[in-house]
Structure 1
Amino acid sequence: MPLVVPGIMTNSGGDKTEEWTNKLVGKKLSDEPSNETTFCKTELPQQTRVVEPGMMVTKDHVPDRLNVHLKEDGTVSHVSHANHTPRNPPSLTASPKQKLKSSIQRSLRNSLLTTYPLLTPYIDEILPKKASLDQVKLPDRVSLFVIEGRPLFFQQDNNGVLVPHLRLVHRFPQAFPTVRIDRGAIRFVLSGATLMAPGLTSKGGRLPVPTERAGEPVAEGVPNEGVDEDGHWSRELEKGEPVVVMAEGKEEACAVGVLVAGTKEVKEKGKGPVIEEAHFLGDGLWNLGLE
């Protein structure tokens, strides 16, 4: 099944933006049929990204994607489109590297292990105690943390959740919570679309299957969780948790995002947005030169 509900936009760029402005501004998105105060999510175009206040988003160009911006109360404040085909591949403008103080490095190390405890056996390889951790500032108040030119993780506003760079995920895939999308959803993920429930609940998708001992410690600070023999994560994931996105038929992760709905809720409802992507293969963060 597709990742997002199909929708076709045939007007020119300005007309499309005006059309969706008239349809959405001042309304809340809902799973229920559209009315005077709400708009049904299933009626949104195929290429749609919902942007919540303070949410980390990529700056990559996706032709004809509808960006729906929400206020704090959940109503739509405005919409925008990317209508012109770029001449060059997606790119990000980064500031020069800045060496971090040892106290900040220790704090980030602790935060990383708190968020991803399964990294504990590898933390000295990821963040060697004598190595220098650098910070690279990106647009939208995003900070990327690197060691010797290798991207490790990034964070928004210096106080948000630490999200792993895909290159780190590919090095230690067993250390991060995962879900899987079906084959039909792959092209939408790689265009930066919001992941919708059907791409995860279909036959080719995969959501966590909790085990009785999930979360119990197997060592100090290391919970008993991970993937089972069929590739299911062993505990339900909560709204706001970062998650790695695998794809049916592919061995390596294709995206990393943040859950906007818990996996238990996704199973129960079977519809609606699930993951807002922060980083995917081929985006500006993936292509960023750090030499």
Structure 2
Amino acid sequence: MFRRFKPKEDIATFGQLKTSKLREVRSFFKDSAGINEEILDVVLPKSESIKVAKCHGHINLLVVGNYPRFFQTRDGPYLPTLRVLHRYPELLPHMQVDRGAIKHILSGSDIMCRGLTSPGAKMEDVPAGTYVAIHAEGKEHAVGIGITTLSTEDIRAKNSGVGIQLLHHLGDALWTTTDLS
């Protein structure tokens, strides 16, 4: 998704985030992930100016202090960037792939079911359509963020095809973008 993202070319407009939208984003993380107010006040401060960068390809970025903190694709929820997720890993459920999947994830490939069911892989029980943090065997931090295409029960039963669609990964253009000033 962010393979060819170039901030100077792909950002169409900058605008101020509406208070109602900020409440919606904060309630999503409080309700779905059980994140407490203290963490949300650091990640999405109410007192600081939060901008929305509308990009080509139906992508929105929440920008706090010139740094992208959250992204949204189409009309989905706002998801943390990997930089935020490394600091606060409890924002999304964890899925762990085996070592063999690392090079494929870093090149932008979706995660296959076999990479999630082989030795060294671990899955939290989640339904299809859940946004997850993708971890790799032997690594401390997440290597990507994706959305499950099947429930974990179906991934175990089917054990073939795409299990997680990759949205953002280490080394993509969103990861390398640190300042949008």
TM-score, length-scaled by structure 1:
0.57
Change (3 A) 1:111 1:207: closer
Which residue number corresponds to residue 155 of structure 2?
Answer: 266
Change (3 A) 1:285 1:119: farther
The counterpart of 2:137, out of the listed 248, 251, 254, is: 248
Q: Using the aligned pairs only, state the percent identity.
A: 33
The counterpart of 1:194, out of the listed 110, 115, 118, is: 110
Contact 2:33 2:90 in 1 (8 A): no
TM-score, length-scaled by structure 2:
0.89
Q: Distance in 2 between matches of 1:118 and 1:103?
A: 19
SS of residue in 2 equivalent to 1:122: helix
Which residue number corresponds to residue 128 of structure 2?
Answer: 239
Q: Distance in 2 between matches of 1:185 and 1:60?
A: 18
The counterpart of 1:155, out of the listed 61, 72, 92, is: 72
Give the CA deviation at 1:252: 0.9
Give the CA deviation at 1:121: 4.3
Mapping 1:266-285, distance limit 5 Å = 266-285=155-174
Q: Distance in 2 between matches of 1:181 and 1:151?
A: 26
> After superposition, what is the alpha-carbon deviation per residue over 1:5-48, rounded to whole angstroms, capped at 9, x for unaligned?
xxxxxxxxxxxxxxxxxxxxxxxxxxxxxxxxxxxxxxxxxxxx
Aligned-residue RMSD, C-alpha: 1.8
Structure richer in strand, relative to its length: 2
Structure richer in helix, relative to its length: 2
Q: Distance in 2 between matches of 1:121 and 1:160?
A: 24
Contact 1:118 1:176 in 2 (8 A): no
Which residue number corresponds to residue 180 of structure 2?
Answer: 290
Give the CA deviation at 1:174: 2.7
Q: Which is greater in Rg?
A: 1
Change (3 A) 1:117 1:150: farther
Unaligned runs of 5+ in 2: none
Give the CA deviation at 1:270: 1.7
Which residue number corresponds to residue 140 of structure 1?
Answer: 57
Q: Distance in 1 between matches of 2:20 and 2:40?
A: 17
Give the CA deviation at 1:267: 1.4
Give the CA deviation at 1:120: 4.3
**Which one has more relative contact order, counting CA pairs under 8 Å at least 6 apart?**
2
> After superposition, what is the alpha-carbon deviation per residue over 1:153-185, rounded to whole angstroms, capped at 9, x for unaligned?
11123x312222101101101332001111110
Contact 2:112 2:163 in 1 (8 A): yes
Which residue number corresponds to residue 182 of structure 1?
Answer: 98
Which residue number corresponds to residue 3 of structure 2?
Answer: 60
Q: Which amino acid aligns with 1:172?
A: Y
SS of residue in 2 equivalent to 1:198: helix
Contact 2:13 2:55 in 1 (8 A): no
Give the CA deviation at 1:284: 1.4
> After superposition, what is the alpha-carbon deviation per residue over 1:210-235, rounded to whole angstroms, capped at 9, x for unaligned?
xxxxxxxxxxxxxxxxxxxxxxxxxx
Q: Distance in 2 between matches of 1:138 and 1:119?
A: 30
Contact 1:137 1:144 in 2 (8 A): yes
Report the number of matched residues.
178
Give the CA deviation at 1:255: 0.2
Contact 1:119 1:175 in 2 (8 A): no
Change (3 A) 1:207 1:108: closer
Which residue number corresponds to residue 87 of structure 2?
Answer: 171
